[in-house]
Structure 1
């Protein structure tokens, strides 16, 4: 097959769940003899000046110079529109069996639709989240425009993939007759198993962007409670973002700065996995996750994971209470209770955590994706 992915951010220049998903799937599809292309912002241009390049068998096509993806800590509408416009000319020159366009940031899906209307491809849209009424919480009254564009995008094709059952459920509340299929995110299971634990030992670990929605402040407050039972408890926070200074200040105000280490952003993926392997429990206090791939990564390291019950959190579907982790309310007291349970039961839960994660190996995920492509064709 000749396959094109469309997404404005490319791994490893941009490190996020959606970028990693496209990269891992595209790489494996190429290894299986498919011709795989990826249209994106040209993040590599400053390094080598080439618009197009090949990485791990994937033909990368840069449609513009690097552009800031975020404006005031939100995805930039200007960038999304510019990417959709810049995408038009290069993609219209080619014909593909399927074009798999990531649903966010919306506007590029309309460009991909035009391409399919000319008979040059079959359009598939992969949805990482469906926001619906959450648009009003995100943008206030202006949320009506986001909601309208999202609904319009969902009507561009009947070939819809969702990365979680939570997103599929949200989609069906908007588009009653849709027939989407769930193709989850994954991990490189064997690679994770090969990595050795770090010498940096901690009881609790969090990894992610330090933004308000991640609720890391609730995690820090829960550490103060955990400390009452485990005085020398150590928490490692891996990541960076606009909330970091506030979180560091909070740890000082609660007088637990000696129990929490802010590691900053970790460039090397193996280092992150090493940190997980030298910990006892992973805590993801976020209230909004489109999937929560870090849950599977932590499970693959043998760690139970504490996640927060919330209607916008797809990571909840990845955890079975007492099996590979615990579900908690977004309250310091409840998270602290689940942290202590995880630490106490880590050895008993370890094998179940690893077994659960193996089901999400990328090779199994790409089997399912390739089958969907063939059925659409």
Structure 2
């Protein structure tokens, strides 16, 4: 059973499906580091036991516990995964179980039946799951103590697709590390495509279809007539990278678009982009709450986003919300980059908003949730 509420130190099991490079994995690492700084005991459980980002966790002194050794253990037909997690959780006896990723949410809640430990399911995306996953989430809502949603839009999906048991749902926006962001600007000279001092259109995301980076490239081409010295920086990797590179060639802008791949130094590159004047573009079909967008805003970079990017709930004037079509995106890029007064207002608002979305207040709110569920403010 969970520990009594009179103990000050919280043991928190942070359970994740795998540890590839990604926003969820970065968020959990930030949470774990801050919990440890506050004197709590975060324990990382990697259900699949896979993912190159695990090495970064180890650099910060976290040694993830593996429930498996391949992605095969994530299949919903694998009851042994849930039983293995149950044994791990029983041995750990944490005060709180906090999960992310469908695979972790699914197997942990089955494994946690009868253990008496509160289970928080952290929901991070507005994409509707396939029918079996929606059915499983509805059934398993009875084993869920509380839902956290990274935006109001995600909370609506939780209520629709998960929460038949009527559990409490709380919105807790994603947070970024101010320590990580307070760096010197990178040297952009490694990218010959960015030569000069003209403004930049910046993309930082996985290069997959849902992100619609092709729309942004075509919009960039259109906007060049109004802003001829503009260049484009694309950070990230994924299945669409080759197609996007070919698109830049086909549109005749390969010499103006730099594909940087996945970058550990993304904050320094954002700082460099901000120094030249930049707009961050994200016109995804769906998102949860983008940390990359918040990081860009922290550097004073305004944004052009689609209505499906839930950060719009907090961005205010820092972002223009547009339909997902190249003409609309291009028009907003042109307006922001050619109206100095507008750019300055948007940039100031971006910093103001992003400075409120840092990890310290985020974890304070998270610990308050933990205390509430364990039972007592004296923790």
Using the size of structure 1 for normalisation, the TM-score is 0.83
Structure 2 residue corresponding to 1:32, chosen from 35, 38, 42? 38
C-alpha distance in 2 between matches for 1:376 and 1:89: 22
Report Cα offsets for 1:90-142 as digits up to 9, x if no partner.
2332211111112x2245544345335123x22111111254xx34xxxxxxx
Distance 2:35 2:174 in 1: 15
Residues 301, 350 of structure 2: 8 Å contact kept: yes
Written as runs of structure 1 = structure 2, the 5 A alignment for 1:66-145 is 66-67=70-71, 77=75, 84=82, 86-102=84-100, 104-106=101-103, 108-115=105-112, 117-119=114-116, 121-129=117-125, 131=127, 134-135=128-129, 143-145=130-132
- The whole-number CA distance in structure 2 between the counterparts of 1:283 and 1:272 is 15
Q: Tell me what 1:341 maps to.
A: 335
Q: What is the 5 A alignment of 1:270-281?
A: 270-278=267-275, 279-281=277-279
Range 331-340 or range 156-165, more displaced: 156-165
Aligned partner of 1:309 among 293, 307, 313: 307
1:280/1:16 CA distance change after superposition, 3 Å:
same
Question: Which runs of 5 or more structure 1 residues have no equivalent in the other structure?
Answer: 70-75, 136-142
**Cα distance change on mapping 1:47 and 1:199 into 2, 3 Å:** closer
| Match among 190, 205, 208 for residue 208 of structure 1 | 205
Show the counterpart of 2:67. Answer: 63
Residue-pair matches, total: 349
Specify whether residues 46 and 215 from structure 1 end up closer, same or farther in structure 2 by C-alpha distance, changes over 3 A only. closer
Cα shift at 1:15 = 1.8
1:182 equivalent in alignment to 2:203: no
User: What is the correspondence of 1:357-372 to structure 2 with a 5 Å cutoff?
Assistant: 357-372=354-369
Contact 2:200 2:273 in 1 (8 A): no
- Native 8 Å contact 2:215 2:324 kept in 1: yes
Deviations 1:15-73 (A, max 9, x none): 2111111111111111111111011043489999xxxx96535452123335489xxxx
The 1:156–1:296 alpha-carbon spacing in structure 2 relative to 1, beyond 3 Å, is same
Q: For 1:216-245, what per-residue CA distance to the aligned partner results, in whole angstroms no more than 9, with x for missing partners? A: 110011011101111232011111211112
Name the structure, 1 or 2, with higher relative contact order (CA <8 Å, separation 6+).
2
Whole-angstrom CA distance in 2 between matches of 1:335 and 1:79: 43
**Residues 85, 245 of structure 1: alpha-carbon distance in 2 compared, 3 angstrom cutoff:** farther
Root mean square deviation of aligned Cα: 2.9
| TM-score of the superposed pair, with normalisation by structure 2 | 0.83
**Alpha-carbon separation, structure 1, partners of 2:306 and 2:53:** 40
* C-alpha separation in 1, matches of 2:159 and 2:228: 48
2: CA distance, partners of 1:280 / 1:54 = 35
**Could you say which residue in structure 2 is the equivalent of 1:374?**
371
Residues 217 and 77 (structure 1 numbering): CA distance in 2 closer, same or farther, change over 3 Å? farther
- Structure 2: gaps spanning 5 or more residues: 1-9, 375-379
